[in-house]
Amino acid sequence: MSKPRTYQTEAIIIKKTKLGEADRILTLYTPHLGKIQAFAKGVRRPRSKLAGHLELLTYSLVSLARGRNLDTIIGSQTINSFLSLKSDLELTSYALYVAELIDKFTADEVENYPLFQLLLETLERLGEAGDKELALRYFELHLLDKVGYRPQLQQCVSCHLPLEPLTNSFCPSAGGMLCPNCSPNQPLTYPVSLKRPKSTTTISG
């Protein structure tokens, strides 16, 4: 049996790329198809009916028609536009950081339902009152776990010495903790204090 010509999926728009004068290639993260690229025809025209449902960081129910190379978006209905994230510049940048990490850490068309759930929950959490930094650190740690890189937390990922009870740093790109000697050499690190915030244990995942 051949695959149906059209299909529908929930999706979060994690990236958009301009194509030609009015079109875009969108990168969608879906619950059961993983990351897919899709052609969005005419969405940069002012009167496009689809455009509003296909904004970056929007959670939508998307209909697609199979194509030879790329599938084409033929319909879209917003489930959650995450307006609170888009109306605040700082929150937008946090959410875009989350979307970019999802894009960088995944290959096309590999289903990872727990990762979709993590993405959705993180966008929801960023839109709510609460500690945004904590939400981001929670996301980074669980992202590494869900894509198969469990972070190294017992020893320094650079010099491999056991971590001392000091303020060490978490480095997402290195995949774990860095001791105070090694962390200055890494561009993106987050100091981790010894006290474990109580709230981290209450977030389910």
Query: Residues in the site for Zn ion, rule: CB under 5 A?
Result: 156, 158-159, 179, 182
DSSP states along 141-200: HHHHHHTT---B-SB-TTT-PBPPSS-EEEETTTTEEE-TTTGGG-SS-EEE-SSPPGGG
Strand order in the sheet with 168-171: 176-178, 168-171, 190-192
Rounded CA gap, 165 and 87, in Å? 41
Is the distance from CB of 109 to CB of 25 less than 8 angstroms?
no
Q: Pick from 189, 31, 201: which is nearest to 118 by CA?
A: 31
- 3-class secondary-structure state, position 72: strand
**Whose Cβ is closer to Zn ion: residue 143's or residue 156's?**
156
Tell me how far, at minimum, the Cβ of 125 lies from Zn ion, in Å: 31
Tell me how far, at minimum, the Cβ of 184 lies from Zn ion, in Å: 10
Q: Which two tokens stand for residue 174?
A: 């290195």
Tell me how far, at minimum, the Cβ of 175 lies from Zn ion, in Å: 14
**Whose Cβ is closer to Zn ion: residue 76's or residue 158's?**
158
Tell me how far, at minimum, the Cβ of 183 lies from Zn ion, in Å: 8
**Whose Cβ is closer to Zn ion: residue 30's or residue 169's?**
169
Q: Which two tokens stand for residue 60?
A: 């939508």
Q: Which two tokens stand for residue 59?
A: 């959670």
**Whose Cβ is closer to Zn ion: residue 19's or residue 163's?**
163
Tell me how far, at minimum, the Cβ of 181 lies from Zn ion, in Å: 5
**Whose Cβ is closer to Zn ion: residue 110's or residue 161's?**
161
